[in-house]
Amino acid sequence: MQSIVLKDKSFVPYITAETISEQVKVIAQKINSDLVNETPLFLVVLNGSFMFAADLLKEVTIPCEISFIKLASYYGTTSSGVVTEMIGLTEDVKGRTVVIIEDIVDTGVTLEKLVTLLTKKEVKQVKVASFLLKPDAYKKNIIVDYVGIKIPNDFVVGYGLDYDGLGRNMKEIFVLNTK
Ligand code: IMP
């Protein structure tokens, strides 16, 4: 694996495609056994999760549905200021087991917003699968049920993750070169 340059920054190899693939299979096996009696709805959080979701869901063997969502923030007219909305969800999620698929959980702000929005829709339960987790940055109490790899508080790209829109297509994960 060679270092890469994206715009003004260079990134060094960090997690190989083989390690990623092994961890994805471990998560899928856990989901297959934990949710064997459910027909979950997987909610893929775009853009970053597309690659993890594609790999993971090929290994999921239980009956399931898959939908793709985005979080959009805008200034609302209420006193609360910024409003976050989930766009793309057309399924009725009431009473259902929903599995959020995330590329990375960093501070957990995004995840908390999503879980709040889903809870309002009266889901039966929310499970969370995130390929990466930064435990030192994570500030929320929501349990991330399925984690591929825990990483330090470093900026990474590849496997769906971007730096300023670039790097999502790499099949390996690279970390910012700070040297
Ligand atoms: P949060 O802080 O958990 O809300 O994460 C917000 C979003 O920041 C994630 O969904 C990613 O899109 C992005 N993000 C966080 N850490 C990284 C990183 O290391 N590389 C690329 N994107 C990141």
**pLDDT tens by residue, 29-54:** 999 999 999 999 999 999 999 999 99
- Taking the centre of ligand 1 as the mean of its atom positions, its distance from the CA of residue 81, in whole angstroms, is 22
- Structure-derived torsion over alpha carbons of residues 38, 138, 23, 19, reported in degrees to the nearest 10: 160
What's the pLDDT at 84? 86
Whether 2 is covered by a domain: the verdict is no
**19 pLDDT band (50/70/90 cuts)?**
very high
Whether 177 is covered by a domain: the verdict is no
What's the pLDDT at 91? 92
Whether 8 is covered by a domain: the verdict is no
114, pLDDT greater than 80: yes
Domain total for the chain?
A: 1
Our answer to whether residue 106 is catalytic in this structure is yes
pLDDT tens digits for 49-72? 999 999 999 999 999 999 999 998
**Neighbour tally for 134: CB within 10 Å:** 19
pLDDT tens digits for 138-177? 989 999 999 999 999 999 999 999 999 999 999 999 999 9
Whether 3 is covered by a domain: the verdict is no
Whether 150 is covered by a domain: the verdict is yes
- Taking the centre of ligand 1 as the mean of its atom positions, its distance from the CA of residue 29, in whole angstroms, is 25
Whether 126 is covered by a domain: the verdict is yes
Report the alpha-carbon distance of residue 134 to residue 114 in Å, rounded: 18
Whether 172 is covered by a domain: the verdict is no
pTM: 0.96
Q: What is the CATH number of the domain that holds 145?
A: 3.40.50.2020
Whether 166 is covered by a domain: the verdict is no
**Quick one: tokens of 144?**
């991330």
**76 pLDDT band (50/70/90 cuts)?**
low
Range of the domain at 59: 19-154
Nearest CA residue ID for atom 22, ligand 1: 161
